[in-house]
Amino acid sequence: MRVLPVPCLRDNYAYLIEGRRPGEAVVVDPSEAPPVLAALEREGLRLAGVWATHHHWDHVGGIAELARAFEGVPVVAYEGDRARIEGATELVAAGATFEALGLDVRVLHIPGHTLGAVAYVVTEGAGAPRVFTGDTLFGAGCGRLFEGTPAQMYASLTGTLGALPDDALVYCGHEYTEANLRFAAHVDGGNAALAERRRRVAEARAAGGPSVPFTLGEDRATNPFLRAHAPALRAAVGAGDDPAVDEVEVFARLRRAKDEF
Q: Pick the catalytic residue: 29, 135, 188, 219? A: 135
Q: Pick the catalytic residue: 55, 81, 109, 113? A: 113
- Active site includes 174? yes
Q: At 162, which amino acid appears?
A: G
Q: Pick the catalytic residue: 56, 81, 188, 219? A: 56
In sequence order, the β-bridge partners of residue 214 are 170
Q: Pick the catalytic residue: 29, 59, 81, 188? A: 59
- Active site includes 135? yes
Q: Pick the catalytic residue: 29, 81, 109, 174? A: 174
Distances (CA, A) of 47 to 43, 100, 134, 141: 11, 12, 20, 31
- Active site includes 59? yes
Q: Pick the catalytic residue: 54, 55, 188, 219? A: 54
In the chain, count H helices and then E strands.
Answer: 9, 14
- Active site includes 109? no
- Active site includes 55? no
In sequence order, the β-bridge partners of residue 76 are 51, 90
Half-sphere exposure of 256 (CA within 13 A, CB side): 11
d(CA 233, CA 225) in angstroms, rounded, equals 9
List the catalytic residues.
Answer: 54, 56, 58-59, 113, 135, 174
